Structure 1
Amino acid sequence: MTIANYAKFHQFKEIIQSLPSVSESSIVSEQFLLEKDEKKQLEIYYAPFEYINERAKVVIVGITPGLNQMEQSYQTVFNDKDKGKDAELILSQVKNNSSFEGSMRKNLVSMLDKLGLHQYLGLSSTIELFNKASNLVHTTSVITYPVFHKGKNYGGTTPDMLKTNILKKYVTEGLVAELEQLDRPLVIPLGVKVEKAINYLVDQKILDPTLILSGFPHPSGQNGWRERHFEAAKEKMLEKLQAHFQSDN
């Protein structure tokens, strides 16, 4: 990683660490606003999610960091005040602490373990991807930074990210740039909205379809169809995992 990759972090680090405390009102504020579309009622804020694990064997892709992840990421940077860690270490800790945290992480791990992903990676459980085996995974989002629509977490549907310029560029530029730095990892899109964006990149001949684990449900606790969708796609996902890791050997 070069300093250029962390330009935004160096721009915002001191501002984050000078906050009186980390709260919604202190971080969802004008000083961290990256861009907005008033007509679409969209706002995109900075959060320190720039770290890219170039050694990753697996990439897990969400829609966009939500407010909870945003707060956790700021708290990690805030807590580092006066400790003098370098940017890459701080940003890697942000990913480990903030990615799919809470019940979403629990649901994600449960489904990945049912597919046996941990066995292909030599782990006892995929929960280790979020601690001692974090070197094996790269977590990211279709849209790198937190997006709010009408002041609420953007859910990926309204407006359509592939038909909205302010959002689409993160798919076609940001996400693509990230994936180009990795060595053909297994890509796991979380839910149909993320899969739609990934499939767009496949259709554009940017991503190799053989690397995509299709059919994986979004692990949010609010996804009431999660288990049913998982069971419906389970056999095909098992076949894809086996084929991917056999060809990788």
Structure 2
Amino acid sequence: MPLQIFEKFVPTLLSLGDEELRNPDHVSSLQMFREQVGQRELSMIYAPFDHVNQGARVVIVGMTPGRFQAVNALVAARDALRNDSSASDAARIAKTHASFSGEPMRGNLIAMLDAIGVARWLGIGSTASLWAGNTHHVHFTSALRYPVFVDGKNWSGTPDMVRTSVLRSTLEDYTGKELAKLPNALIVPLGPKVSAAMLHLADCGLIDADRVLTGLPHPSGANAERIAYFLGKKTAAQCSSKTNPATIDAAKAQLIKRVQLLTS
């Protein structure tokens, strides 16, 4: 199914000029939907985030690709196709080029995954190698797989994807069916909104809730204090009132137990 979608857009990808690529949300042939929701205009465009690593044991799930990622993926796919790559290879190249690889929050995510035993479960020294020698173990995706915009700006979680019918359909029809193909993988949602979306997919029977690692602090630098406490770099007494140590302790204990149960 994902490759079929990519193949449908191959003629468009080959025709895109550099100027169009700078503003892909203005290219009518890339539009997947445009809909008014209350006072806001929601739109989704196609960008080649279709490739699925079928052998992945860990899936890292963000919210949705932003305009920057979309442009990178579109350029990589177009150039690969113009260099006579197959549709399958072009889709893989585009996804690899544009997904998460430059995220500054990667270090925080690695430290937290190692702290709850994911590296041990994978049989590797550290989850840092998921971005190096062990990339075959990881699949990157987004709750809303294709770029979504609200009033022309990157969607940042509002309106809610589970409560908004057009976004919920996108979540279920694309990402839900994608993750259903990886039933033995651990799913790592980045942040509470993505966690809620993954639990919705579990309620739909598309994924196993026991394999969703809810409760990790979002790895963003804006969450530095919660991450430091989670990793034991700060004591409860050193934390501000914005951090709830008891909640973090409970979440961490539950995450460690979940990974241990999968290992046993």
Q: TM-score range by the shorter chain?
A: 0.7 to 0.9
User: Contact 2:80 / 2:93 at 8 angstroms: preserved in 1?
Assistant: no
Match of 2:49 in 1: 49
The change in CA–CA distance for 1:208 and 1:82 in structure 2 (over 3 A counts) is closer
Match of 2:120 in 1: 119
Match of 1:238 in 2: 256
Distance, in Å, in 2 between the alignment partners of 1:134 and 1:21 is 30
Task: Measure how far apart 1:191 and its partner are.
Answer: 0.8
The change in CA–CA distance for 1:199 and 1:223 in structure 2 (over 3 A counts) is same
The change in CA–CA distance for 1:118 and 1:17 in structure 2 (over 3 A counts) is farther
For 1:120-135, list aligned pairs within 5 A. Answer: 120-135=121-136
Give yes or no for the alignment of 1:171 onto 2:171: yes
Deviates more, 1:23-32 or 1:90-99: 23-32
Deviates more, 1:46-55 or 1:230-239: 230-239
Give yes or no for the alignment of 1:15 onto 2:12: yes
Match of 2:24 in 1: 27
Instruction: After superposition, give the CA deviation of every residue in 1:109-167 in whole Å (9 maximum; x if it has no partner).
Output: 343234342333233432332343222112111111000112211112x2121121110
Which 5+ residue runs of structure 1 have no aligned equivalent?
A: none
The change in CA–CA distance for 1:200 and 1:147 in structure 2 (over 3 A counts) is same
Could you say what secondary structure the match of 1:85 adopts? coil
Equivalent AA in structure 1 for residue 77 of structure 2 = V
Distance, in Å, in 1 between the alignment partners of 2:153 and 2:98 is 19
Could you say what secondary structure the match of 1:135 adopts? helix
Could you say what secondary structure the match of 2:56 adopts? coil
User: Contact 1:54 / 1:183 at 8 angstroms: preserved in 2?
Assistant: no
Match of 1:59 in 2: 59
Task: Measure how far apart 1:84 and its partner are.
Answer: 1.9
Instruction: After superposition, give the CA deviation of every residue in 1:7-29 in whole Å (9 maximum; x if it has no partner).
Output: 33223234334433277634222
Higher relative contact order (CA 8 A, sep 6+): 1
Distance, in Å, in 2 between the alignment partners of 1:170 and 1:243 is 32
Task: Measure how far apart 1:225 and its partner are.
Answer: 5.8
Higher Cα Rg: structure 1 or 2?
2
For 1:147-162, list aligned pairs within 5 A. Answer: 147-156=148-157, 158-162=158-162
Instruction: After superposition, give the CA deviation of every residue in 1:173-213 in whole Å (9 maximum; x if it has no partner).
Output: 22221122123211111110011111223334443222111
Instruction: After superposition, give the CA deviation of every residue in 1:16-48 in whole Å (9 maximum; x if it has no partner).
Output: 344332776342222311101123311101110
Runs of 4+ in 1 over 4 A off after TM superposition: 222-226, 228-231
The change in CA–CA distance for 1:230 and 1:147 in structure 2 (over 3 A counts) is farther
User: Contact 2:64 / 2:146 at 8 angstroms: preserved in 1?
Assistant: yes
Match of 1:83 in 2: 83
Supply the RMSD in Å over aligned alpha carbons.
2.5
The change in CA–CA distance for 1:168 and 1:244 in structure 2 (over 3 A counts) is same
Deviates more, 1:203-212 or 1:54-63: 203-212
Task: Measure how far apart 1:218 and its partner are.
Answer: 2.8
The change in CA–CA distance for 1:131 and 1:152 in structure 2 (over 3 A counts) is same
Distance, in Å, in 1 between the alignment partners of 2:154 and 2:100 is 14
- How many equivalent residue pairs? 242
Match of 1:92 in 2: 92
User: Normalization by structure 2: what TM-score?
Assistant: 0.80
Task: Measure how far apart 1:223 and its partner are.
Answer: 4.5
The change in CA–CA distance for 1:146 and 1:224 in structure 2 (over 3 A counts) is farther
The change in CA–CA distance for 1:24 and 1:229 in structure 2 (over 3 A counts) is farther
